[in-house]
Chains A and B, each alone.
Chain A
């Protein structure tokens, strides 16, 4: 077997490659959105697709998110597999009615006769110095809507593998792309892209024995950094990347928490009504007798997303994660 040079690739490039390969493999895959054609998207994630596959396959639509998703519904009803790009998290809100009232329910309503294999790609989260409406963590809205899968990759390899899975899924998938990781690099071979395990499974990114950090998307690098820093304090932290918020991998999560007996959920989204509340409740319900301390949450504040000059105070950082770990009732143990 010849070895192929493994070059560093960005998450954005892996996502582009995933769409490109999906479009090449399946002529029913169509990309549509604002500026996705000639420009290649404002983050260049659809770069080259219109050129390679033509504007009928990668289409610059009129500027109307409900219209984009609404027409995607009709396209899917006719046998296409639309991949919709929402330009930014906060600009996906006009499409929420279509998403909630139709995309998530059509299969159920029609008893499986009209599945809607639509992928809705949403760049999300902060940390890029964006002005208002460019940094929301909107995952809780999607999680609260039965019928949708909600996926979010945190690594370059997962970005490729999970987007391929999302596009291949016969269910609608909200695919949340952590936009501050778009330019994160990893050694990843685009010629031999790795497939990832079945959709919906969490993965341990760093094994550890003291406590488990449950996280996803943009907060994964923060948690890995925190785990490194924690060694100095004598803690060996495990870091779990959830990858799929819906369906939720209770099995992997609970196995991890039962091993360590302590857990902290870390995400950018607001704490109140955010995903962490659901995750902490599930873990507590299932792992109560293994827990040495309450499951804690490290989240964004319960405020509208702050202006760029203040966002560093809002985003969960290494210190805030370590402070939470410190509160996991270590003294009580001995």
Chain B
């Protein structure tokens, strides 16, 4: 007889009941990326929406080539191109209502522009005359975020705050495949699910994080599967199919707005250009892969679908091109003017007020500028 039995204190019983907290099956993504173009579903899509998407894709492609050209000319310090990813960029912007918020990464200036932000202001960070150009409140677009995935918890907090205030605002946050390995990705998804915050996470899986392919990034069945662990639905979509990305995102936005909580969307796409102009992609990938993806080009896919269905004629395509050229010409013209960043601005907006230390440093810089002015004649924005 054991000591416990002698005392009669211990009566073995089965463990207290354990229940799964929810059925994971409805959260699981489809086995294949969801597609609309080239399938029956295309017939049910709203032709006006498809035409709007097309015009934006044409514009978006032109925007990417123009920004890349400006970088080669030294007008931008760096440009992370979204060539090949225009469907995701454009659909993200168009899936939102006016009152919603967009949280972009450095790759997503096109989404920012498609949301209505002036392209020159969207490119301020990449031109380098300031860290950021536009008023985030004007179009409800957060600043482009460079530290990977750090913008995701911001989107969750904003959506949570909106819900607490009783506003039916949704936040859509964008991140790359590499960014999903960051701790902030995990924390943001977990907070969003626990709080049932109205957030949509859009992961653009473009195959690479600079040079590192997805296989070295994750062992998950798909990035969309990660959603299940947080208790939110994961959706897998063809990221080059603008109609599909828009439909999936718009569904997720509706779901979030209705109080259904967050969704994780993985859009499978491909980065046609190098990581940035400063990157040499030949060191880590071959032309065959790029050519295969060029054959699945987002602009061509939609254009072929629309013309095939008689929903878009040559005149409409020409009009879209014309509009894109005008945008590019305007961008070129304005980006070719030298920006005039004012050195004295450096001390503004560090704090709401100032400090005695910053006052002293301000005076030092002003004196340096005045001395420079005396030597060279021209003040470098030092007049203020």
Binding site for B on A (CB under 8 A): 30, 56, 61-62, 64, 66-67, 69-80, 94, 97-98, 101-102, 105-115, 146-147, 149, 169-171, 200, 246-251
**10 A–B contacts, CB within 8 A, in A order:** A69-B153, A74-B157, A74-B171, A75-B158, A108-B350, A169-B352, A200-B355, A246-B355, A247-B355, A247-B356
Given contacts A77-B157, A111-B130, A113-B135, 19 further A-B contacts (CB under 8 A): A30-B164, A66-B153, A70-B184, A71-B153, A73-B154, A74-B154, A74-B156, A75-B157, A75-B161, A78-B162, A97-B184, A101-B150, A110-B136, A112-B349, A114-B137, A149-B351, A169-B352, A247-B355, A250-B356
Chain B residues within an 8 Å CB radius of A80? 161, 164
Is B159 in contact with chain A by the CB < 8 A criterion? yes
Closest to A147 in B: B350
The complex places the Cα of A30 from the Cα of B164 at a distance, in Å, of: 11
A107 contacts across to B, CB distance below 8 A? 349-352
Minimum distance in angstroms from A198 CB to a CB of chain B = 10
* Contact between chains at B132 and A70 (CB < 8 Å): no
B144-166 residues at the A interface, CB under 8 angstroms: 147, 150, 152-162, 164-165
Q: Does B304 contact A (CB under 8 A)?
A: no
Which one of B57-65, B188-196, B286-294, B365-373 contacts A?
B188-196
A108 touches B187 (CB 8 A): no
A76 to B186, CA, bound (A): 21
Please give the distance in Å from B175's CB to the nearest CB on chain A: 13
A285 to B186, CA, bound (A): 47
**B356 touching A102 by the CB < 8 A rule?**
no
Digitize B101-119: 1 where CB-to-A-CB distance is under 8 Å, 0 elsewhere.
0000000000000000000
Is the pair B142, A71 in contact by a Cβ cutoff of 8 Å? no
Complex Cα gap A200–B355 (Å): 9
| CB atoms of B150 and A111 under 8 A apart | no
Q: How many residues of B contact A (CB 8 A)?
A: 41
Task: Quote the shortest CB–CB distance from A115 to chain B (angstroms).
Answer: 6
Interface residues of B (CB under 8 A from A): 130-132, 135-137, 142-143, 147, 150, 152-162, 164-165, 171, 183-184, 186-188, 190-191, 194, 345, 348-352, 355-357
Question: Cβ of A102 and Cβ of B131 under 8 Å apart?
Answer: no
Q: Would you call A64 and B352 a contact (CB within 8 A)?
A: no
CB contacts (< 8 Å) of B155 on chain A: these are 74
B147 touches A250 (CB 8 A): no
A62–B191 contact, CB under 8 A? yes
- Which of chain B's residues have a CB closer than 8 A to the CB of A249? 356
Residues of B within 8 A of A248 (CB): 355-357
Q: In whole angstroms, how far apart are the Cα atoms of A106 and B130 in the complex?
A: 12
CA distance A249 to B357 in the complex (A): 9
B49 to chain A, nearest CB (A): 29
Q: Are B191 and A71 in contact (CB under 8 A)?
A: yes
* Complex CA distance for A69 and B352, rounded to whole angstroms: 20
In the complex, which residue of chain A has the Cβ closest to the Cβ of B103?
Answer: A74
Name the one of B137, B157, B171, B355 contacting A70, with C-beta atoms under 8 angstroms: B157
With A79-B161, A80-B161 as contacts: A102 and B350 at CB distance below 8 Å? no
Complex Cα gap A250–B359 (Å): 12
| Contact partner, B352, options A170, A246, A250, Cβ 8 Å | A170
> With contacts A73-B153, A74-B158, A101-B147 known, is A66 near B352, CB below 8 A?
no
Whether A147 contacts B153 by the Cβ 8 Å rule is no
